[in-house]
Chains A and B, each alone.
With several copies, the nearest count.
Chain A
Amino acid sequence: MRYLPHTEEDIQQMLQVVGATDLEALFSSIPDDCRRKDEMNLPEPLTEWELNGHMDCMAASMGAPPFYKVFMGAGSYHHYIPEITRQLLLRSEFFTAYTPYQPEISQGTLQTIYEYQTLVCRLLGMDVANASMYDGASGLAEALLMTIRATRRKKVAVSRAVHPMYRKVVETYFAPTGFEVVELPVGADGRTDLSGLSDLGELAGVALQSPNFFGCIEDLETAGKVIHADKKTLFVTAFSEPLAYGLLKSPGACGADIACGEGQSFGIPQSFGGPGLGMFAANQKYVRTMPGRLIGKTTDRDGKTGFVLTLATREQHIRREKATSNICSNQGLCATAATMYMASLGGTGIRELSRLNRDRAEYLKASLAKAGHTSPFSAPTFNEFVVRFPDGFADTWQALLEKKIVAGLHLAPYYPELSDCWLMCVTETISKTAIDALVKEVAK
């Protein structure tokens, strides 16, 4: 096998040094009743070429672009990924390195992640960002646990307009802790209704998502003021589409204490949902209660600038059970991809691209409305929105699959109250022509 270098001769020489008669004898110190007696029941090894054929064949069954037009977002977005990102990520110095424990020979990873932290801060208008969390969902769960650590309160509130799967992950993380999660309702406009907030008692944190799951842009500025009526409560803003912040006021500018969300849109393939990138940023004063790895700038013996892992005293390998989180890695390669992507876009580019996403989605929204299919919500949206379809659309939806169109996400399983609604998404990868084609089909 081409990954296993030893020849028979190598093995014999090494066994002699070790003092074992054969490979099995290497394990003779393991008690016999702990040794596996049967062979593993695994398939015959495939050659490189058989594997290629097998994987190509499996992948061919998937309904992915460019063969399918997928008008579905809901936390996973199809954006173009520049070829340079793909090729630079394949540089093995990036992708085969581990956690930069030895900074002298890890400055590539370290400077990149330092740049990542900086760009994330600039994107979100926040003071400090960590080197990333697993994904948007667990990032939100960790953010809410952080509000509990920071305030020593026991309850958090989460908007029902937050991605339903993120809320499930929050539930899972909170279940064994004894802390409480309450849900904030959605108003008629599709935004979170904060009118009942003051009745909920002492809250450690309140989490809104913007654009929220329905694509609606929350009025974060006003929300921040309402939430901060209780000065101790932390305002957590989540997101699943960071590209929105090319155009929208940043969470930091709206008073967020913690901003967290999913960074997949920034140069990371959708890959059936993972890996993603948990972007996570906070105000300076909370830095020592933040979970996750941090990279800091320092100098070497000769006074030369360099970068290191820092504030590790928050982390589990030092603090063990007292750590701010059990997370001990980051999404290194995904954060690297996002850094490359943000660098390629630039400030000018992100604005243009963000606008184009929104404008194309608005075009679809308007076109559907013209065809009689309107949104139940009035709030402005970014690149996705909810639309109500007449009875029988589920069949139309199914029929459109045959035409290689996935016409949005049915909301019934997630929001029974919106069982006749679909969540539609348009990014820069879907042209006006493709939008017109969808509208024509739907209008039939």
Chain B
Amino acid sequence: FNEPLLWEKGSPGRKGLSLPRRDVEEAPLDDALAGDGPDFPDLSELDVVRHFTKLSQWNFGVDSGMYPLGSCTMKYNPKTNERQASIPGFAGAHPLLPESLSQGALELMHDLQGYLGEITGLPAVTLQPAAGSQGELTGMLIFAAYHKNKGQQRTKVLIPDTAHGTNPASAALCGFKAVGVKSGPEGILLPESVAELMDEDTAGIMITNPNTLGLFEDNIRQVADIVHQKGGLVYGDGANMNAAMGIVNFGDIGVDVMHLNLHKTMSTPHGGGGPGAGPVCVTPELDPFLPVPRVVKDGKVYRLVEDYPLSVGKVHAFYGNFSILLRAYSYILSLGKDLKTASQYAVLNANYIKEKLKSHYHLPYDRPCMHECVFTDKHQQEHHVATLDIAKRLMDHGFHPPTIYFPLVVSGAIMIEPTESESKETLDQFIDAMGQIAREALECPECLHESPQFPKVRRLDETAAARNPCLKG
């Protein structure tokens, strides 16, 4: 069934919101400033409830089924986190309350900083970035500020070909030129490739580890040494931290700056694309450059401190996405050391899928993976079935498709990240569906071209959408 657009519904004068009683007189307003008010539709409460109930039913979420979207870590978003975020004391708190009236929030932020420092091995932490990409930007700002403080202005940053697109974009936003580094035949960085490019005009390197092929960068220590020797810094993109909690101490292996995506590793809701949170963890040496205000503990009192003269400044109006931080805090307190178990199960699940599916799908790098594995459509291409067809067909089996055509270094990539939340039964069902699709590719390629059959709409014309953009109604 269709659901009309909001403005195709309603009737002028209808009410959907309970307006508080008027208890003061109307104040005059200069005509030159007054407008007509926006042309919003007037709906009843039930109109609004039904509209969004129906829209929601066309969406697939983690609660709807397995969502193996590689590099997005679509783990279970615990319901208790929502309960905590809605406690009136937190949900209703003004950010500029005096310290005496915000100790709970400050303590939470202070302790969360400590936990994230412990998990990454990089003890100085800012919670301010509103998302991973803003965390990257903050990291690049720190790179720039660090070199500036040394009296240098370096112009380049090394970025491997397996990086997320945000890495070069974040570097560019910060005025750096992104210099590509090719990964080696095993899908990981070779120290010699880095040594060749690293120079004293290069601010450092951005590495995703495990990388976007789901592989651990074995040469990370050597790479870090090369970069450090030339006075550069090592940025670790923590998007894939879900593979490594309690497994790797990133501070120890030479990473200087690292952001985390709390909506990935720390289970905060994905929300159809946000809000996320992208805390940045750094070495003690880089501590002075973190954004302000900083949350510090002063005796028994928690305080916000602005006085860090080397700080890069502010990236958020207030302190970042507090209620997302709060959810991550709840998650960490709920698991404690079991976070390591989460990483272990995540890796177990990915390897299990890899082993079970490699007879059906081409596995470009056949070696133990971390939390995700990357296949390609090479075998299916012979039957004119592409990654896109496989992805769409999965919808008909009740699964969200994996990430496709990423990383770019692999042609026709199918990037599967199950996360630790999925049980063996669910994995087996997914493996079974993928197996059926592989058979169907042989027997009935057109069935795959015609998929999906069951969702609300079928394949959409994205080209037309971009050619003649219709962005509002």
CB distance from B214 to the nearest CB of A (A): 12
CB distance from B387 to the nearest CB of A (A): 13
- The secondary-structure label for the interface of chain B is loop
Contact A346 B400 (CB under 8 A): no
Q: Given the complex of chains A and B, what is the CA–CA distance between A328 and B237 in angstroms?
A: 15
Contact A298 B272 (CB under 8 A): no
Selected from A109, A250, A339, the residue in CB contact (under 8 A) with B35 is A250
> Would you call A190 an interface residue if the criterion is a C-beta within 8 Å of the partner chain's C-beta atoms?
no
**A contact residues around B326 at 8 Å (CB):** 271
Tell me the nearest residue of chain B to A132, going by C-beta.
Answer: B274
> Would you call B185 an interface residue if the criterion is a C-beta within 8 Å of the partner chain's C-beta atoms?
no
> Would you call B20 an interface residue if the criterion is a C-beta within 8 Å of the partner chain's C-beta atoms?
yes
- Considering only CB atoms and an 8 Å cut-off, how many residues of chain A contact the other chain? 216
Contact B458 A302 (CB under 8 A): yes
> Would you call A19 an interface residue if the criterion is a C-beta within 8 Å of the partner chain's C-beta atoms?
yes
CB contact list, B48-101 vs A, under 8 A: 48-49, 51-53, 55-64, 67, 69, 72, 74-80, 82-98, 100-101
**A contact residues around B392 at 8 Å (CB):** 102, 104
**B contact residues around A344 at 8 Å (CB):** 16-17, 43, 45, 48
> Would you call A199 an interface residue if the criterion is a C-beta within 8 Å of the partner chain's C-beta atoms?
no
Q: Given the complex of chains A and B, what is the CA–CA distance between A79 and B51 in angstroms?
A: 23
Q: Mark A328-369, 1 if CB is under 8 A from B, else 0.
A: 111111101001111111111111111110111011000000
Known A2-B44, A20-B351, A329-B273: A313·B466 in contact at CB below 8 Å: yes
Tell me the nearest residue of chain B to A103, going by C-beta.
Answer: B460
> Would you call B151 an interface residue if the criterion is a C-beta within 8 Å of the partner chain's C-beta atoms?
no
CB distance from B201 to the nearest CB of A (A): 15
Interface band, chain B: 35 or more
> Would you call B414 an interface residue if the criterion is a C-beta within 8 Å of the partner chain's C-beta atoms?
no
Contact A271 B470 (CB under 8 A): no
Tell me the nearest residue of chain A to B138, going by C-beta.
Answer: A172
CB contact list, A209-242 vs B, under 8 A: 217, 219, 221
Contact A273 B35 (CB under 8 A): no
CB contact list, A54-110 vs B, under 8 A: 54-66, 68, 70, 72, 74-76, 78, 80, 82-84, 86-88, 90-109
**B contact residues around A205 at 8 Å (CB):** none
**B contact residues around A106 at 8 Å (CB):** 58-60, 272
Tell me the nearest residue of chain A to B333, going by C-beta.
Answer: A46
CB distance from B130 to the nearest CB of A (A): 4
> Would you call B296 an interface residue if the criterion is a C-beta within 8 Å of the partner chain's C-beta atoms?
no
Contact A40 B45 (CB under 8 A): no
Q: Given the complex of chains A and B, what is the CA–CA distance between A72 and B89 in angstroms?
A: 16
Known A34-B253, A300-B458: A175·B338 in contact at CB below 8 Å: no
Known A9-B11, A23-B348, A329-B276: A62·B104 in contact at CB below 8 Å: yes
- 16 example contacts (A-B, Cβ-Cβ < 8 A) are as follows A40-B119, A42-B337, A61-B101, A63-B100, A78-B94, A93-B59, A95-B270, A96-B61, A104-B457, A173-B315, A246-B37, A246-B38, A326-B137, A329-B273, A339-B6, A432-B23
Excluding A169-B316, A248-B35, 14 further A-B contacts by CB distance (< 8 Å) are A36-B252, A40-B339, A46-B333, A55-B84, A82-B79, A118-B5, A172-B315, A219-B33, A246-B37, A249-B32, A293-B273, A320-B178, A321-B168, A339-B6
